[in-house]
Amino acid sequence: MSSYLKDLDYSVVQQCMHCGMCLPTCPTYMETKLERNSPRGRISLMRAIADGQLEAKKAFSDEMYFCLGCLACETACPAGVDYTQLFEMARAEAERKVGSHSAPRRLFRSFLLGALFREQWRLRLVGRILWFYQAIGLQSLVRSSGILRLFPQSLRGLEVKTPTIKRHFSPDLIEAREKPEGTASRYRVGLLTGCVQDLIYSDVNRDTADVLLANGCTVVTPPTQGCCGSLHAHNGEYEMAKAYARRLLDHFDLDNLDAIITNAAGCGSHLKHFDRLLQDDPDYAAKAVQWSEKVKDISEWLIEIDFRAPEKSPTMARVTYHDACHLCHGQKITAQPRELLGKIPGLEIAPLTESMWCCGSAGIYNLIQPEMAGKLQQRKIDHIAATGATIVATGNPGCLLQIQNGLAARGVKIEATHPVTLLAQAYRSEK
């Protein structure tokens, strides 16, 4: 039987020198001080499986899912270990050997990663239902009634994390093709609207389109583009991730686009690896290479095209910036968002202690590891509150939601938003 770790290029598996430089950058290790909870310890387990010295059993699976996948270890590693690939293959190995043993877990994953995300209309249907539940006040009634106390703590914790669904999703706000007004089009770009992003931050997608238009970009936004598969790749469903990638590629005419724009760090990190994901696919390998070359985070693209600094801003504010893990560690993008914020008039940038330390969101980590996620959330909120900022900006929907929930729970009056939203507001204030 094939094995994801045994079939992986062995040079990737043996790259770790066990120097320990990653240890102080790993949130789980720094919390527990256990070697198995460190990147070095996890890689040792992966190598033992690749060498046939260890079987991937429940303990291995539990350890791989205790890892945040924040990739801080990649930034710290002097040997250039490709932890992204190791992490994805290890979770795929865990699912192949262990994942099917628990019926409730199998049912949950089948619904969440399979059925719900397979078609965008299904996700939007659930979003419409949840929006109606919130809009008519039923959610507030349920929360104030005390009925939630009858449910287990695990379910009560999930209910608190329920995001506020937007009334209008991206296709309602963004036309399939929009041209800049009053100026010639300099570039033609594709805009990714995401899946969860589409439901809870469709306004950020509209802001992204407006900023692109303000900088001379024709924006192409396929309304039925759907999920990119990042959640699947990061959670052991590697073959499913390939299927989602192929489908997404089919929605964009890459030959006639200068770039593919994403405003979600976690998705962007995965999107830039489509070339590796589909390298053995004879029908999609070449297109995947072209895709990976053209995918750009919105901040990365704006700096590349020398975006126009706004003439004024609608507000004077002190802003701090949280580095989303898959933007700073996964995509090595740190300076561009800060440069973007620095060019908006009226904003004072306050440095954030441990800005590159994970907030605990990490995809669905805050759902499956709520205790550790909660500790990291509180650590992040402590640092944000200490800045004296009235706004915290970050470039990933998961981070935004985690930080917003943390601020609300603490009663801290700080707005959490995407950097591109602040830029869009500044452009609009000029009119």
What is the set of domains in the chain, with CATH numbers? 10-101 (1.10.1060.10), 103-308 (no CATH), 317-429 (3.40.50)
- Which pLDDT belongs to residue 120? 83
| pLDDT tens-digit map of 7-37 | 888 889 899 999 999 999 999 999 999 999 9
| pLDDT tens-digit map of 250-297 | 999 999 999 999 999 999 999 999 999 999 999 999 999 999 999 999
Whole-angstrom distance, CA of residue 194 vs CA of residue 281? 24
Computed on alpha carbons and rounded to an integer, the radius of gyration of the chain in Å comes to: 21
For residue 25, give the H/E element and its range.
Answer: none
- Whether pTM > 0.75 for this model: the answer is yes
CB–CB of 44/83 below 8 Å? no
CA distances from 371 to 157, 378, 402 (A): 10, 11, 13
| pLDDT tens-digit map of 115-151 | 778 778 888 999 999 999 989 998 888 888 888 787 7
Q: At what angle do helices 39-50 and 83-97 cross, to 10 degrees?
A: 60
For residue 273, give the H/E element and its range.
Answer: none
- Which pLDDT belongs to residue 419? 98
- Which pLDDT belongs to residue 1? 46
Count of residues making up the chain: 431
Q: Which of 40, 49, 61, 50 is nearest to 11 (CA)?
A: 50
Please report, rounded to a whole number, the percentage of residues in the chain having pLDDT higher than 70: 98
- Across 80-108, average pLDDT: 83
